[in-house]
Amino acid sequence: MSTPLKQIHLAAHFPGVNNTTVWSDPEAGSHIEFSSFAHFARTAERAKFDFLFLAEGLRLREQGGNIYDLDVVGRPDTFTILSALAAVTDRLGLTGTINSTFNEPYEVARQFASLDHLSGGRAAWNVVTSWDAFTGENFRRGGFLPQDERYSRAKEFLATATELFDSWRGDEIVADQTSGTFLGDARAGAFAHQGQHFDIAGQFNVPRSPQGRPVIFQAGDSEEGREFAAAAADAIFSRYSTLKEGQAFYTDVKGRLARHGRTHDQLLILPAATFVLGDTDAEARELAHEVRRQQVSGATAIKHLEFVWNRDLSAYDPDGPLPDIDPDPGEHTIARGRAQVRMYRDPLAVAREWRELAAANKWSIRDLVIETGNRQSFIGSPATVAETINSFVQADASDGFILVPHITPGGLDAFADTVVPLLQERGVFRTEYEGTTLRDHLGLAHPGTEAHQERAAS
């Protein structure tokens, strides 16, 4: 007998404020009006996706001292838009990115517990950290956190929020009109936390929510990030969508779980993945190339080169050869408010390699950026894409994917209509939601009982 097929988890990432999103396409709609979010969420729910995913940024990006204007700019408040989406969907999970650096545990715990109540148990929190003083300029604390403390604060933030979620057991609201007892326990919500980053005590004021706690996502890729996820997350939003890289990451992170007393199925690995569909594989390949040209305009190509060169390259022609000068090896100053710039750890080597590639292939700056940039993860006919996704999941490159369409809000429609039915036919993707909460969709235990037992034992 063969092992049973793994069930695939699928999620929809609302198109982000980067050049993956093609705003110049005639099909591209608003990135801020609620109708776009509602369309996108309804499509994901129609396709029985596990959840919708929303990223967050707390300072507009800058390059060369100016607000970056080539990509989509502007997005809504994470909590507020997710709560509104709870009104136009019934089952779809609602995952929001919320920064642990520029927030306080009491308020964030209250917002997630509220969102979980208001969505009937569909809330999830992608915990991210930042430390930069650039973002801090928008907040009371300013740039208060040394870089090497960001995970220590994030860990303590999450632990503190968990204490707040668990400060209600779930049976305190009696609301007995006859006896006049509303609250079964006057100490409901009592908490006290003392640590390096937080010293807080009192009573949490949101009763236990349907999921007990929101599902926890982690997205960082560093050693610390992986440990943080293995210790405390329910799912990882990773960036390894190729088979080999995906398998390596999967093995690494799942291998860490035992050390934290956790089992293999308690942490899902869900890479971000882009896709281009066509009637045939050849048509999809052609389309994919067109999309990449839309994603990388001449101006975008120059800006992208600046991440590596750490210099103003605006004088260069994107259709001409690469710059002869070397990258500025000093502190990175050209682009601010982006994670991307940290990906190039040795700019001189990258520049050398790119010059050689460009010379060998007769590529212009724009060609180089298009050709060396990330290709779409899945390119092909619906059958090819369904087969590839399934084979990746069965080969333990992931537990599913968080799909990032390049068009707002309709970029998911074709996938929902053509690829999902094929996955359903193969018996690897649900045809109906079996449960009502996001934990149900993801096959994660409800933490309610666990908290009860701990409390009963103490």
Identify which of residues 189 and 448 has a Cβ nearer to another protein in the complex. Answer: 189
Angle between helices 105-118 and 78-88 (to 10 degrees): 10
Contact 253, 267 (CB under 8 A): yes
Contact 44, 12 (CB under 8 A): yes
Identify which of residues 199 and 432 has a Cβ nearer to another protein in the complex. Answer: 199
Which of these ranges, 107-115, 265-273, 328-336, 357-365, lies near another protein under the rule CB under 8 A? 107-115
Tell which one of 32, 248, 258, 445 touches another protein (CB under 8 A).
Answer: 32
CA distances from residue 290 to 25, 27, 297, 329 in whole angstroms, order as listed: 11, 14, 11, 34
Tell which one of 6, 104, 262, 421 touches another protein (CB under 8 A).
Answer: 104
State the minimum distance, in angstroms, from the CB of residue 337 to another protein. Answer: 10
DSSP of 119-186, one letter per residue?
TTS-EEEEEE----HHHHTTSTT-S-S-GGGHHHHHHHHHHHHHHHHTTS-S--EEEETTTTEEES-T
Told to check if 297 binds another protein by CB under 8 A, we report: yes
**Count of positions on this chain that bind another protein (CB under 8 A):** 73
Q: How far apart are alpha carbons 454 and 442 in whole angstroms? A: 24
- Residues of span 269-288 touching another protein by CB under 8 A: none
Hey, which residues does 63 pair with through a beta bridge?
A: 66, 335
Tell which one of 8, 54, 154, 188 touches another protein (CB under 8 A).
Answer: 188
Told to check if 394 binds another protein by CB under 8 A, we report: no
Told to check if 103 binds another protein by CB under 8 A, we report: yes
Phi-psi region of 180 (alpha: psi -120 to 50; beta: other; left: phi over 0): left
State the minimum distance, in angstroms, from the CB of residue 109 to another protein. Answer: 10
Which of these ranges, 149-157, 194-202, 255-263, 426-434, lies near another protein under the rule CB under 8 A? 194-202
Identify which of residues 200 and 350 has a Cβ nearer to another protein in the complex. Answer: 200
Told to check if 18 binds another protein by CB under 8 A, we report: no
Record the tokens describing residue 197, joined without a space.
């980053």
Phi, psi of 335 (to 5 degrees): -120, 135
Alpha-carbon 297 to chain mean position: 25
Told to check if 350 binds another protein by CB under 8 A, we report: no
Told to check if 409 binds another protein by CB under 8 A, we report: no
Contact 195, 183 (CB under 8 A): no
- The answer for residues whose C-beta is within 8 angstroms of residue 458's C-beta and 6 or more apart is none
Q: Which secondary-structure segment (H or E) carries 176?
A: strand 173-176
State the minimum distance, in angstroms, from the CB of residue 187 to another protein. Answer: 8
State the minimum distance, in angstroms, from the CB of residue 90 to another protein. Answer: 11
Told to check if 24 binds another protein by CB under 8 A, we report: yes
- Residues of span 38-77 touching another protein by CB under 8 A: 38, 57-60, 66-67, 69-77
Identify which of residues 70 and 159 has a Cβ nearer to another protein in the complex. Answer: 70
Record the tokens describing residue 180, joined without a space.
């006049």
- Residues of span 129-158 touching another protein by CB under 8 A: 137-140, 142
Q: Is 63 helix (H, G, I), strand (E, B) or coil?
A: strand
Told to check if 80 binds another protein by CB under 8 A, we report: yes
> Is 30 known to sit in a ligand binding site?
no
Told to check if 4 binds another protein by CB under 8 A, we report: no
Q: How far apart are alpha carbons 156 and 149 in whole angstroms? A: 11
CA distances from residue 220 to 227, 229, 337 in whole angstroms, order as listed: 10, 8, 16
Tell which one of 52, 54, 86, 369 touches another protein (CB under 8 A).
Answer: 86
Told to check if 175 binds another protein by CB under 8 A, we report: yes
Q: How far apart are alpha carbons 217 and 158 in whole angstroms? A: 11
Identify which of residues 185 and 450 has a Cβ nearer to another protein in the complex. Answer: 185
> Is 384 known to sit in a ligand binding site?
no
Told to check if 386 binds another protein by CB under 8 A, we report: no
> Is 97 known to sit in a ligand binding site?
yes
DSSP for residue 224: H
Annotated binding site for FMN: 97, 151, 222
